[in-house]
Amino acid sequence: MSQGPLAGLRVIDAATLAAGPLIATWLGEHGAEVIKVEQPEGGDPLRQWGAQKDGVGLMWKSIGRNKKSVTLDLRREAGQNLLRDMAGQADVIVLNLRPSTLQKWGLDYGSLAAVNSRLVMVHVTGFGAGGPKSDRPGFGTLGEAMSGFAHLTGSPDGPPTLPSFMLADGVAGLTATYAVMMALYHRDVHGANGQLIDVNLIEPLARLLEQSVLTYDQLGTAPSRTGNRWDISAPRNVYLTKDGRWLAMSGSAPTIAKRALEAVGRPELTRDPRFAEAQQRLKNATAIDTIMADWISARTLDEAMAVFEAANVAAAPVYDAEQLLADPHLTAREAYVSLPDSELGGMRVQAPVPRFSDTPGSVGHLGPALGEHNEEIYGQWLGIDAAGRQDLRSQGVI
């Protein structure tokens, strides 16, 4: 890990659950030293989140990769003081406490910057600072609802649909990760101080859904659910094959849409005014869907994919987890790596993305045990002697 492009960068992950910790995970994959700060009793709730094996949270094992875990009760003044001491030696700190809590505990950016003017602080909240909802608790579900995602997702005659994975958290985490790199560039290249990065769970995802806002602003219409169609291209849907599998197709580029029509034996439609131009294809999307669905339903997934691949049509099978892990292309790219683990024996996790030619990311270890690195961090980082560490333990601070 010391050879990564972020080697020498010290990051404190004092956030919980998904968005904040993901930022630190991605920085850690590329060489940053990441200290995960957790409550002494139970740790980050992420440890109990989702699927478990023998009481070990599987999601924690992946998001906790490459991190060092220390316990610290931030509800105590002594714990708050210790975190400020750690921030004095760090480059980045990630927090997701409510703004009022940060102020009350003296962990707001002004207080931490007074200790370390070079510190970059990421504050992840449900709603962001400065508005009437800034101090309300928020989770990804609320971001997926308020961003407009749920409104656009699902069948036209069905309810708004929420994703069954951490979409808003992930998009917010990715957004904040590149923001950290920009803040560090500004600090290190331009000789500036650190700064505060304010990110919430609504706005990053809403940015990806901006087309609906643009449409409403300019045309006065609010897009609604269209199932698996999308009102920018046709064909675009998932289709059931003869052997009960699903195939996804996108005709986003005009040349690809024409190839799809030719591949299913309808080359004459590429010259038909109803299908020859993108806007006309959209108006006749139902007819295109019927053509594609009828052709695909008469063939197995392998048969249909063989035709589409030969014709350079943008089509792909819809995978479940087993099929994803077995895909020969992803296997060749080593998209998933198996790591040993003291609690699970071993587990496959996704390798770091994106890929770098000279400084590739890596996964050194999976999520550590709670407080596994207390002695190292409090002893070596902060210089607290053995008696002092024992005193902190006896008080329940660590």
Token duo for residue 381: 């980082």
Clarify whether 169 is annotated catalytic. yes
Burial 210-240 (b: 16+ CB within 10 A, else e): eebeeeeeeeeeebebbeebbeebbbbbebe
- Strand positions, DSSP E, the chain: 10-13, 33-38, 52-53, 56-57, 67-71, 92-95, 120-125, 196-200, 236-240, 246-250, 315-317, 336-341, 345-350
> Which three-class secondary structure state does DSSP give residue 370?
coil
Long-range interactions of 265-268: CB distance < 8 A, separation 24+: 265/295, 266/291
Separation of CA 133 from chain center:
23
Report DSSP letters for 94-159, one per residue: EE-S-HHHHHHHT-SHHHHHHH-TT-EEEEEESS-TTSTTTTS---HHHHHHHTSHHHHSS-TTS-
The catalytic residue among 44, 169, 198, 289 is: 169
Q: How far apart are CA 139 and CA 262, in angstroms?
A: 46
- DSSP annotation of 233 reads B
Q: How far apart are CA 175 and CA 351, in angstroms?
A: 20
- DSSP annotation of 236 reads E
- Residue 299 burial (10 A CB sphere; 0-12, 13-18, 19+): middle
Phi, psi (deg, nearest 5) at residue 348: -90, 135
Q: Give the CA distances from residue 65 to residues 6, 21, 54, 58, 88, in Å, rounded to whole numbers and listed in that order.
A: 16, 10, 19, 11, 24
Known catalytic residues are 169
